[in-house]
Structure 1
Amino acid sequence: MNETSLQVASNVKRIWSFMIDDMVINLLLMIIFSSQLSALMSGITEVNEASVMMINQFIMDNIVIVLAIKVLYHTILVWQSGMTVGKYLLKIRVVEMNSGMRPSFTQAFWRASVRLISEMFFYIGFVFAFFSPLHQTLHDKLSNCVVTNA
């Protein structure tokens, strides 16, 4: 990638984008699971071992759906436009490192999958951005992508 033609997005913009995307995904999940969450919360009258068990069971029953929605959100939006909602609002985009174009579907899917794994392990893959000259996270590096200003 020609570094003079594309300006790498700052970590601050990436952090804000991450937070916005998390809020969008959580809103989607609340809508999808609204009836189940209402039923779950109406069954909890006090915090005790039984209520904790009910919440844990809800999480275990739906974890695959939640993870799939997160991967699909990031894969489809990055593949289609190079931007998630958060990236759009912050005017940054994901591009393929060599061409400067949108990532392919495979790259977007790989990036979203590694991103999810990084989240599950204490966001360790995101720390890479603070030590990389191109502010690349682990999922950026492994998918051969970089986040630039749009």
Structure 2
Amino acid sequence: MPPLASLGRRLLARIIDGLLIGIPVGLVAGGLIGGFGYGFGDDDDMGQSTGVQLAILLVYFVYEGLMLSRSGQTVGKMLMKIRVAMVANGSVPAGNPGWTRAAVYSLPQLVPCIGFVFWLVNVLFCTWDKPFRQCLHDKAAKTVVVSTR
């Protein structure tokens, strides 16, 4: 098994993927839903914002599930030279493990308030987990993030 990926590389990979998905999907969804409102407290603006966030979340889920099942890497992970591997044998998390990992990372955010708290605990979990520095989405899919070089 290659060495574990650093937390910094993992974070940068997530930021790259978030921007790669969030910006174009946000612009398209915002345009389709009716723009981005700037009024404070306006119910229509709140609904538009929620719709855009939902679109970004669902596209990110599909993007991550497909990419991890195919190669164990998203674009951000490729750029940071890291990949997701199965703990048991280091293989690509094809099929259910890739989709499970993507689902546990993304979908809880659909639940207002509680989803964000779960997401926060999930992504911070790797800072204290030993020995594999796994987040909860890694544990659910039985994966680990490793360096490719």
Matches within 5 A, 1:60-139: 60-62=50-52, 64-116=54-106, 117=108, 120-121=116-117, 122-132=119-129, 133-139=131-137
8 Å contact 1:77–1:84 — kept in the other structure?
A: yes
Question: Which one has a bigger Cα radius of gyration?
Answer: 1
Question: What is the TM-score with the length of structure 2 in the denominator?
Answer: 0.82
Of all paired residues, the percent bearing the same amino acid is: 24
Unaligned runs of 5+ in 1: none
Q: Could you tell me which residue of structure 2 aligns to residue 58 of structure 1? A: 48
8 Å contact 1:94–1:148 — kept in the other structure?
A: yes
Q: Deviations over 1:61-109 (max 9, x none)?
A: 4554333212101100111111011100000000111111100211111
- SS for the counterpart of 1:33 is helix
Question: What is the TM-score with the length of structure 1 in the denominator?
Answer: 0.82
Unaligned runs of 5+ in 2: 110-114
Q: Given the superposition, is the C-alpha separation of residues 68 and 124 from structure 1 closer, same or farther in structure 2, using an over 3 Å criterion?
A: same
- What letter is aligned with 2:13? S
Number of residue pairs aligned between Structure 1 and Structure 2: 140
Q: Given the superposition, is the C-alpha separation of residues 104 and 111 from structure 1 closer, same or farther in structure 2, using an over 3 Å criterion?
A: same
